[in-house]
Amino acid sequence: MFSEESDRVELLVNFDNNKAVIKAQYIPEIQKMAEVLKNYPELSLVIEGHTSKVGSSAYNQKISQQRAEAVVDVLVNKFNIASDRLSAVGYGEERLIDLGDTAAHAVNRRIEAKVELTKKVPVAR
């Protein structure tokens, strides 16, 4: 007899202003997502890139795509995840977390990826 358990894995990587370079501190987080993908080979993942609203919307669209692609690149080239399981989508400034123009807008410069898993777990009798 089995029951189902849900598990949610999230990946959040923040970026410096005008940059699409992944800082070393985020590699362990990306590795955790890579391990999930290795354990569940049927899963695909969409990496969503975001920016703050500073700068033109065309530029923000471009850099958000570059940020998402940078994470895909690490998953493929460092952790050997098949590229056909990954998608990079840049949202620019469409999905702001912080709407202000202060230094707090740094939270908007990010990628996000989320995986929801349901697994069957044996029920102890």
Please report, to the nearest 10 degrees, the dihedral formed by the alpha carbons of residues 26, 22, 109, 19 taken in order: 160
- The residue type found at 76 is V
In angstroms, what CA-CA distances link 26 with 49, 76, 80? 15, 15, 17
The first and second tokens of residue 65, run together, are: 């795509």
Assigned CATH for 2-122: 3.30.1330.60
Enumerate the domain spans of the chain.
Answer: 2-122
Contact between residue 113 and residue 46 where contact means Cβ atoms under 8 Å apart: yes
Give the Å distances, CA to CA, from 104 to 32, 61, 77, 109: 27, 20, 32, 10
Q: How confident is the model at residue 121 (pLDDT cuts 50, 70, 90)?
A: low
> Would you state the pLDDT for residue 33?
94
- pLDDT tens digits, 76-99: 999 999 999 999 999 877 776 666
Residue 12 has pLDDT above 70, yes or no: yes
CA distances 13 to 3, 63, 108, 109, Å, are 33, 14, 10, 8
Query: Across all residues in the chain, what is the average pLDDT?
Result: 84
